[in-house]
Amino acid sequence: MPKFKFALVKEEDYREGVKRKMKQFVEERWLQGKKTTLQDIQNVFQKPPYNLSEPTVRKYLKKLVNDGKLSTYYRNGRRYYAPPKFPLSIKFGIAVAVTIIVCGVVIDIFVPSECILKYVYLYNPNLDNQTTPQNPSMLPIVTYLLILTTIFTIFAYWMEKKK
C-alpha cells in the first residue's frame, strides 16, 4: 500500500507555480507550432493535478497577460494565447542599432580614409597641433552611437512600461 505525504505549501506559492506552468504550457505549444486557445488551457488545468475552476483559469490567464508574460491575438473570432511579443520600443532600438552598424561598416569599406578624416573626425591638415590617426575608422563613433541607442531604448521601454 503506497504511503502519501502531505505537504503544506503557501497558497501564493501554489498560485505562482500554476501560473508558471500555464506560461510553460503556452510556450511549449508555440514552439511546436500549435496555437493555444482558452479551451486547450482549460483541458489541462481543470483536471488533476490542478483541478482549477473555469473562473480561476481565466483570472490567472488575465493576470499573465496584464503582467506581459503572455500575449493574446484574435483570428476568425477566436482568442489565442502566445508568448509575449517584443515591445515597439525594443524593436525600434534593435532596428536603429542594426542600421548604425551597417552604415559604419559600409562607410569603413567604401569611403576613403581621407574623407573619413576630413568629414567625420574634422581633421584639418593646415593645423600644426593635431595628431593624425594611422587608420581612421568609424568604430569609435559606431560604439558611441550604440551606447546612446541602448540608453534611449531602455528609457523608452521604461516609459512604455510605466503607462
With 0-12 / 13-18 / 19 or more C-beta atoms within 10 angstroms meaning exposed / middle / buried, residue 64 is buried
Confidence at residue 90, expressed as pLDDT on a 0 to 100 scale: 92
Of 159 and 3, more confident: 159
**Banded pLDDT at 126 (limits 50, 70, 90):** confident
Confidence at residue 27, expressed as pLDDT on a 0 to 100 scale: 94
The C-alpha cell that represents 60 in the structure block: 490567472
Output the pTM of the full model: 0.64
Confidence at residue 162, expressed as pLDDT on a 0 to 100 scale: 79
Kindly list the strands in the beta sheet with 36-37, ordered across the sheet, starting from the edge strand earlier in the chain. Answer: 36-37, 78-82, 71-75
